[in-house]
Amino acid sequence: MFKGSADNKIEAAMSELVPEPRQKPAVPMKPVGINSNLLGYIGIDTIIEQMRKKTMKTGFDFNIMVVGQSGLGKSTLVNTLFKSQVSRKSSGWNREEKIPKTVEIKAIGHVIEEGGVKMKLTVIDTPGFGDQINNENCWEPIEKYINEQYEKFLKEEVNIARKKRIPDTRVHCCLYFISPTGHSLRPLDLEFMKHLSKVVNIIPVIAKADTMTLEEKTEFKQRVRKELEVNGIEFYPQKEFDEDLEDKTENDKIRQESMPFAVVGSDKEYQVNGKRILGRKTPWGVIEVENLNHCEFALLRDFVIRTHLQDLKEVTHNIHYETYRAKRLNDNGGLPPVTAETEENHESNL
Amino acid sequence: MAVAVERPANDELRNLSLSGHVGFDSLPDQLVNKSTSQGFCFNILCVGETGIGKSTLMDTLFNTKFESDPATHNEPGVRLKARSYELQESNVRLKLTIVDTVGFGDQINKDDSYKPIVEYIDTQFEAYLQEELKIKRSLFNYHDTRIHACLYFIAPTGHSLKSLDLVTMKKLDSKVNIIPIIAKADTIAKNELHKFKSKIMSELVSNGVQIYQFPTDEETVAEINATMSVHLPFAVVGSTEEVKIGNKMSKARQYPWGVVQVENENHCDFVKLREMLIRVNMEDLREQTHTRHYELYRRCKLEEMGFKDTDPDSKPFSLQETYEAKRNEFLGELQKKEEEMRQMFVMRVKEKEAELKEAEKDLHEKFDHLKRTHQEEKKKVDDKKKELEEELSNFQKKKAAAQLLQSQAQQAGSQQTKKDKDKKNFFFM
């Protein structure tokens, strides 16, 4: 008994001497997998439905840019893709207008809805690209526009009181129209794609593919793919961003066989075999836009809209935007208040 | 090269109708697929006294036995214990983290009980904020540790909320989604339960505690959320033991006077809690945490550090300008410090030099002194030597003189002494 009280006395004395250590907040341990112990249904998988409902309510933004020389059918193709008059062709521009002397950027937005899903679609057209006699640096206004959108988003993100949903005007996808010469890529094509594949997702398409026979098409595509590879141009889907084996195999197939898509666009309907389908009527037959035997429009549409739309947005946000942001912050010496890093950066700048 | 950008204002956006099936109605599926492959995070914080049934309730909710030892009542303070688990149901992977408040309500002095909890929540927000502010960041595969739901366990006294409960909830309501629940509800009779619930809700309202509101803005869930809200706070009973009722086994607590069935809505509100927490509002809880609580934390934190969106003239400031100003300030300070250090260094060097010079002078003086002393000594010795030599020479002279005298005297006296000697010798012989 005596001993006990002595111990207590010592303990009490010690606790007076040593101040109570500040409790360090616990950090979660590595997760323990407990698949096998689940008995009965919890309902965790309902989160998928919950998430889906929320996203349907907020809607989606999608911004697509079309680049290519005049007359390659850019506006028609975009209209065909979204089955409505979304391009500038329908917003007051007429064919008799003069080709602009410089590259202009025209963005037109629409709201379209399908199956309860609302999408704010913006089509960014670039009239004047590649149309001058001297086309040097004609990609610069486009690059500038793309970077301006990143800048706008960054400014919003960096605000103290931020909006609940930052409006997304960044270009998610850039369709580059290649002239169906049948030979190879033009120097302008290569220069543009070299510069811009680092800032935006580029999807090269071969325009007006109805001018080539099947053999010519295959050969041309092979040559284009080869040239892109030789010049180190990474078009979407970029090899380095394949997340897992599944993605890789799927994307490899697209990259090595289907792309660049040889497309034909049309917004006129014709009667073929009792059905009304989109097509182009020629003296020698009707070219069916959505017929895979005739052209690869359906592949492009499925690729861009039905399977990879979300991925296009994610690559833009997680990779291109982050690259821009990192470069921008580095140029300014870093963004506070990460004190450790600020000092690091100051050291390098001093 | 001029660039003309035409962009119609938002209200000019045209609604278009599609002339055929485009296919973007698969967008929600595309989005969901991406999230499914990554997995979801969900973090629950359980606040309540020791022994009130937090661990049991978690076990019951997730149909699993999360291993943990029951806490003792002797904890010196409140600490938070977090455990993470990976659950899977069909193709959904959930990274669940359950944070427990160990020792809550056990101390004699509970003034600071809420502090570790608030600190933990803030730490998770801070971690996310730091990641968001990094230059090279990876938010899309960031393991979110922010608390999405806080289950506050109220003791079934049958009277009213304890003051500790009110204080704690008031501190937490702006930081986390609070869902109050009455624990061990099988100790309260039905009629008392109704009164108890009303008392609790009115106390929460009168004290301005903001608990989580089940969302009623979306048609599909508005109805069920509204109906369930009426039953707040949910009176729950937890149990992992199974009892045979009728012809199947169900979770229940067996007493001598009867069996309390956990999943029977007449017996307790467990099913309602599960519906609300997991099956209906899990995504909303995550969203509220991110868009409301986290944004509030971020705003406060950045303002605290001196960043504003608008300057005193309420013109919009860019964070960049503020940053540049701060950076210049910081650089200026650094330079000043550098100067100071340099000056101090120079001063110190001077001081040391002076010291050393002093020491050198001293040394020289000593040396001179010693030299002089030595010379004096030497002189003395030389003098003495001279004296001695003189004396010696005097002595020699004297000796020589004496010898001469002696020899003279001897000669003169030798005859005499010879005679004397002879005489002497004569006598001796």
Confidence (pLDDT) at B427: 67
Can you read off the two tokens belonging to residue B39? 């997995």
Cα separation of A208 and A179, whole Å? 8
- The DSSP 8-state label assigned to residue B233 in this structure reads S
Answer whether B22 sits within 8 Å of A37, measured CB to CB. no
Evaluate whether A289 touches A175 at the Cβ level (below 8 Å).
no
For strand A285-288 and strand A275-282, is the pairing parallel, antiparallel, or unpaired? antiparallel
Confidence (pLDDT) at A98: 65
Cα separation of A333 and A350, whole Å? 10
Quick check: A230 contacting B, CB < 8 Å?
no
Evaluate whether A64 touches A123 at the Cβ level (below 8 Å).
yes
Quick check: A120 contacting B, CB < 8 Å?
yes
pLDDT of A57-106, one tens digit each? Answer: 888 889 999 998 888 888 888 888 888 777 766 555 555 566 676 788 88
Task: List B residues 51-80 in contact with A (Cβ-Cβ < 8 A).
Answer: 61-66, 76-80
Q: With pLDDT > 70 as the criterion, what percentage of chain A qualifies?
A: 79
Quick check: B110 contacting A, CB < 8 Å?
no
Evaluate whether B100 touches B81 at the Cβ level (below 8 Å).
yes
Residues of chain B with pLDDT under 50: 1-11, 311-317
pLDDT at residue A335 greater than cutoff 60? no
Residues 6+ positions from B16 with CB-CB distance below 8 Å: A84, A85, A86, A110, A111, A112
pLDDT at residue A121 greater than cutoff 80? yes
End-to-end, the C-alpha distance of chain A in Å comes to 68
Confidence (pLDDT) at A26: 39
Confidence (pLDDT) at B421: 66
Least confident of A177-186, A212-221, B396-405, B416-425: B416-425
Task: List B residues 366-425 in contact with A (Cβ-Cβ < 8 A).
Answer: none
Quick check: A155 contacting B, CB < 8 Å?
yes
Q: With pLDDT > 90 as the criterion, what percentage of chain A qualifies?
A: 12
Answer whether B89 sits within 8 Å of A45, measured CB to CB. yes
Can you read off the two tokens belonging to residue A210? 């109805």
Confidence (pLDDT) at B318: 53
Evaluate whether B144 touches B157 at the Cβ level (below 8 Å).
no
Please tell me which residue of chain A has the smallest CA distance to B5: A105
Q: What is the pTM assigned to this prediction?
A: 0.72
Average pLDDT over residues A224-234: 88
Quick check: A163 contacting B, CB < 8 Å?
no
Cα separation of B409 and B400, whole Å? 14
CB-facing half-sphere around the CA of A10: CA atoms within 13 A: 5
Can you read off the two tokens belonging to residue B232? 């707040």
pLDDT at residue A279 greater than cutoff 90? no
Cα separation of B303 and B297, whole Å? 10
Quick check: A188 contacting B, CB < 8 Å?
no
The residue with greater pLDDT, A44 or B319, is A44
SS3 A16: helix
Answer whether B94 sits within 8 Å of A44, measured CB to CB. yes
Quick check: B165 contacting A, CB < 8 Å?
no
Number of neighbouring beta carbons within 10 Å of residue A197: 21
Cα separation of A105 and A47, whole Å? 41
Confidence (pLDDT) at B321: 63
Evaluate whether A188 touches A221 at the Cβ level (below 8 Å).
no
Confidence (pLDDT) at A286: 85
- Phi-psi label, residue B15: left if phi above 0, alpha if psi -120 to 50, beta otherwise: beta
Preceding peptide of A337 cis, ω within 30°:
yes
Q: Which of B12, B17, B22 to mutate to test the interface with A (most CBs of A within 10 A)?
A: B22
Confidence (pLDDT) at B238: 87
pLDDT at residue A348 greater than cutoff 50? no
Average pLDDT over residues A261-267: 86
Number of neighbouring beta carbons within 10 Å of residue B39: 15
Average pLDDT over residues A238-243: 77
- The DSSP 8-state label assigned to residue B100 in this structure reads E
- The DSSP 8-state label assigned to residue B68 in this structure reads -
Residues 6+ positions from B429 with CB-CB distance below 8 Å: none
Task: List B residues 29-48 in contact with A (Cβ-Cβ < 8 A).
Answer: 29-32, 34-37, 40, 43
Confidence (pLDDT) at B308: 60
Quick check: B25 contacting A, CB < 8 Å?
yes
User: Residue B76: which of B113, B114, B47, B130 has the closest Cα?
Assistant: B113
The top-scoring range by mean pLDDT among A26-30, A140-144, A183-187 is A140-144
Cα separation of B272 and B280, whole Å? 10
Contacts 24+ apart (CB under 8 A), B398-406: none
The residues facing A123 across adjacent strands are A64, A108
Least confident of A113-122, A241-250, B11-20: B11-20
